[in-house]
Amino acid sequence: MLYPSIDSLMKNIDSKYTLVTVSAKRAREMQGNDDCLLEKTVSKKYVGKALEEIYEGLLKYDIENNNL
């Protein structure tokens, strides 16, 4: 089972495409810098950690400026 669920993630991000793009970009940042915003995560993989950050509301996407 995926945690967090797609339905719960879609409350914070407007589309699935944006969700994939934001989580992949954040996962690459974490891989290079090893700087997770959450103290404790369920997932051990970078993409899972990025999805958890989105779920907790720590990552936002600015549509007009294309910025995290």
In the structure, what pLDDT confidence band is assigned to residue 1 with cuts at 50, 70 and 90?
low
Residue 39: what pLDDT?
87
Q: Where are the domains of the chain?
A: 6-55
The predicted-structure confidence for 31-68, as pLDDT tens digits, reads as follows 999 888 888 988 889 999 999 999 998 887 777 666 66
SS3 62: strand
Distances from the Cα of 36 to the Cα of 8, 14, 15, 26, 46, angstroms: 20, 23, 23, 9, 9
Q: Which residue type is seen at 23?
A: S
